[in-house]
């Protein structure tokens, strides 16, 4: 029996927790969230990790989804993959010309799972809505958001 792509699965929870763990690798910043992202192919290859990334991995302005997508390269299998991100993909950025939402849409990814909606600390984000409007399946798992807030406790407004 096929699983509805809009339903949260045990595999989704597993991979999202892994993305949250990746966020712990982020170099500290008082002006940016610490975010982890993981691209997993759920197509005929099964649950295979395509790429991972985290904020500020190679560049102080790099976002987690951007990092993972760069490592995935021009993989054609992204149409059957899911990107797991600890934080909602950004839809506004001061440091780059393309947002993570735009990069995801350009990559061909058709499914996004994240834990925490981006709070209005740095920008007003509506990445989930933009992705859905473009036909991408977007799943929010708020039960894991406290783990993401804990990783981002260095930002005063994320504590608690």
Cβ partners under 8 Å of residue 3, min gap 6: 9
What b/e string do you get for 135-145 counting C-beta neighbours within 10 Å, with b at 16 or more?
ebbbbbbeebb
Catalytic residues: 65
Residues 37-49, buried b or exposed e (16+ Cβ, 10 A)?
bbbbbbeeeeeee
- DSSP, res 98: S
- Maximum distance among all Cα pairs of the chain, rounded to whole angstroms: 46
To the nearest 10 degrees (0 to 180), the angle between helices 10-23 and 64-72 is: 110
What are the backbone dihedrals phi and psi of residue 82, each rounded to the nearest 5 degrees, phi first? -120, 140
């Amino acid at each position: 029996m096929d699983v509805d792509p809009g339903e949260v699965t045990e595999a989704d929870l597993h991979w999202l927790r892994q993305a949250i763990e990746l966020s712990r690798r982020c170099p500290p910043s008082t002006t940016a969230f610490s975010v982890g992202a993981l691209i997993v192919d759920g197509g005929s290859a099964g649950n295979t990790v395509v790429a991972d990334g985290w904020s500020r991995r190679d560049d102080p302005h790099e976002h987690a989804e951007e990092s993972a997508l760069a490592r995935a390269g021009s993989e054609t299998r992204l149409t059957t993959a899911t990107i797991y991100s600890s934080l909602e993909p950004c839809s506004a950025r001061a440091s780059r010309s393309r947002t993570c939402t735009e990069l995801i849409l350009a990559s061909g990814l058709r499914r996004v799972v994240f834990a925490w909606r981006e709070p209005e600390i740095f920008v007003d984000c509506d990445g989930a809505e933009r992705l859905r409007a473009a036909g991408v399946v977007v799943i929010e798992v708020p039960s894991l958001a406290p783990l993401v807030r804990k990783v981002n406790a260095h930002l005063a407004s994320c504590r608690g």
